[in-house]
A and B are shown apart, each in its own frame.
Chain A
Amino acid sequence: MSIELKNVSKKFGEVAAVNGVNFSVKDGELMALLGPSGGGKTTVLRMIAGLEIPTEGDIFIAGKRVNDISVRKRNIGFVFQNYALFKTMNVFKNIAFGLKIKKWKRADIESRVMELLKLLDLEGLEKRYPHQLSGGQRQRVAIARALASKPRVLLLDEPFGAVDAKIRQELREWLVHLHKDLNVTTLFVTHDQEEAMEVSDRIVIFSRGNLEQIGAPREVYEQPVNEFVARFIGVMNVLEVEVRNGVGRANELEFPAPTQPDGTRLRIGFRPYAVQISSDLAQYRYRAVLRRTYFLGIMLRLELELASGLTVRSRITKEEYAMLGLRDGLDVSIQIRNYRVLAREGGDLPPELQTTYDRAPSIAEHI
């Protein structure tokens, strides 16, 4: 079922937790609501569920306006952050609860619960009580319970927050597979941008009640629409530059900005992978020293200090690192391959500055 939010706001007293939010979710989509704490994403999720009522705006599920429909009648499945399993009931009864309420026949309930136990890898656990389960198992029971009555929408509030990092990884993959099997429209809230990027078809980014951007993971990473998104997603090197003679400068780094008058201050951002490094001091434009290497598995994070003292963060693979013959303390030359103008002091970004600039590496540049 598709979902649509039109100009939805939610105020708690004077504070606007959600501010005029507009977006739609396609039928069968797996969408992440991403943002820092307090951004409004959980409130939006709860409004879709009916656990909160919008102060303004309309919510549509499958084309029908649901503002006045109580949570009981919306036929959505909700998975709470702390699972909210019924502590006095065993796993079977927890999953069967919604079906019992809907007065399903006993045989039907039994077969449906068994089906879900199998689907969610909980076979053999039906007599156990929540306190006898591991965190991951409780999570899956919560999901099974939400899915039992075949809801048209599945909502998850920080589903992997309470579990260890390693388990989180497994559960993420598992959620993607589950979604593919079931094809239920699924929304989940997270503050972990890696999770949102890995799992979802599209991401909606919230900050302080406002919708900042909506798009596929790649789009949001490579084409952030504003500074908040650029800095929130992934790692970003951010510099303040001042324009002189059509070039924005920050210490020795230079970024062409031909349309801007002298004295304009801009904020420039570039991703770690955009930094090109060479042990040949003549190959690239700027001199730097490799101060520290952080081992992250297959990638390495590098801290490079430029001659002026400015620090730049870069990421390369182990192979590249070895090929370039790098080590801590080595003098290198670097080049910034692409960058984005994030903000302009004193005003909005004009359209010509709102793209990602590609700069082909060139020895001729520094002649």
Chain B
Amino acid sequence: MGGTVQSNFKAGRAASRRGTEEPAFVKWTLIAIGLVFALLFLLVPLVNVFYQALEKGVGFYFSSLSEPDSSSAIRLTLIIAAITVPLNVIFGLAAAWAIAKFEFRGKAILITLIDLPFAVSPVVAGLVFVLLFGLQGYFGQWLDDHNIKIIFAAPGIVLATLFITFPFVARELIPVMQATGAEQEQAALTLGASGWQTFWHVTLPSVKWGLLYGVILCNARAMGEFGAVSVVSGKIAGQTQTMPLRVEELFNSSRISEGTAAFAVASLLALLALFTLGVKTWVEWKTRRDHKLAQRAEVIGQSQA
């Protein structure tokens, strides 16, 4: 009873040529079109960023990054990400859990609300916060009386970024939680676990890849957000500029050296993008592999005791 599971991908692939495949030239034409698009609109611009960034040499590259306003922009971006990502993980986990495990009135509204930041233009999102918390805004007077600065200060940027990146974690987790189903958690309950223990020992580990992916996406967007932050921050150099805003200012300057510096800062964002893609690919590979192993085990398992 029970041998180990053999992994046999290569043999499987060779054996699976089906009669339903398109003729070879159709296949290759479509692949070629996809590749050309990717090259032209994705790869070339990316390579160009690094090319432009290093045009004045590696020394200039590092000195433009350590320039006070630029380095404070980098620092601010990191702080914003460090605040918004954990918060959105908590919101996302809670929302996904509620949606996947329970039936309640207003569930459809919650699901729609979660998708709202995707539908709204980032500039509009930023504007909403200005209308609420700006000096002429709804709460503006009250905030001013209590000397609390939200708009044109870091808290405003945090709020705007939270709004924009809110869906990422939740949307990754909901299908994963729904697919896992409630049975493992019910099993935990029958074994005496409390709600919290069930969540910590059973639910969370079962969504770890989806969670990681959501965090990575959330982080990438948090660091790269432009529109909403642009409206809300006031773009005060050295104080409320994030990296994307810094890139814009440098790029629009008439001084050529600042143009190159713009690409230097932009290259950091490009590196972040590559890192995000790398992690994403790895997570997808892992989940696909786990899935295949499980399927193979099912087939073997059904004919053994």
A-B contacts, 30 listed (Cβ < 8 Å): A51-B186, A72-B192, A76-B190, A78-B186, A78-B187, A84-B183, A84-B184, A86-B201, A86-B202, A88-B206, A97-B191, A98-B191, A101-B197, A121-B1, A131-B290, A133-B297, A133-B301, A134-B1, A134-B297, A134-B300, A135-B304, A137-B2, A137-B301, A145-B187, A146-B190, A146-B191, A163-B302, A167-B304, A167-B305, A171-B305
State whether the Cβ of A317 lies closer than 8 Å to any Cβ in chain B. no
Contacts of B124 in A (CB 8 A): none
| Selected contact of B193 from candidates A88, A101, A148, CB within 8 Å | A101
Contacts of A136 in B (CB 8 A): 1, 301, 304-305
Question: Which residues does B use to contact A, with CB under 8 Å?
Answer: 1-2, 4-5, 183-184, 186-194, 197, 201-202, 205-206, 208, 290, 293-294, 297-298, 300-305
Least CB distance, A76 to chain B, in whole angstroms: 7
State whether the Cβ of A24 lies closer than 8 Å to any Cβ in chain B. no
Contacts of A171 in B (CB 8 A): 305
Are A80 and B183 neighbours in the complex by a CB distance under 8 Å?
yes
Are A82 and B301 neighbours in the complex by a CB distance under 8 Å?
no
Docked Cα-Cα span, A135 to B194, in Å, equals: 29
Are A149 and B186 neighbours in the complex by a CB distance under 8 Å?
no
Are A134 and B304 neighbours in the complex by a CB distance under 8 Å?
yes
- Per-residue CB contact flags for chain A residues 119-162 toward chain B (1 = under 8 Å, else 0) read 00100010000011111111000000110110000000000000
Least CB distance, A87 to chain B, in whole angstroms: 6
Docked Cα-Cα span, A51 to B191, in Å, equals: 12
State whether the Cβ of A348 lies closer than 8 Å to any Cβ in chain B. no
Docked Cα-Cα span, A134 to B4, in Å, equals: 10
Contacts of B1 in A (CB 8 A): 121, 134, 136-137
State whether the Cβ of A343 lies closer than 8 Å to any Cβ in chain B. no
* Closest partner residue, chain B, to A170 (CB atom): B305
- Per-residue CB contact flags for chain A residues 165-181 toward chain B (1 = under 8 Å, else 0) read 00100110000000000
Docked Cα-Cα span, A281 to B215, in Å, equals: 84
State whether the Cβ of A77 lies closer than 8 Å to any Cβ in chain B. yes
Are B202 and A164 neighbours in the complex by a CB distance under 8 Å?
no
Q: Give the 3 A-B CB pairs with smallest separation, nearest first.
A: A98-B191, A134-B301, A136-B305
Scan residues 88-140 of chain A and give those whose CB is less than 8 A from a CB of chain B: 88-89, 97-98, 101-102, 121, 125, 131-138
Least CB distance, B301 to chain A, in whole angstroms: 4
* Closest partner residue, chain A, to B194 (CB atom): A72
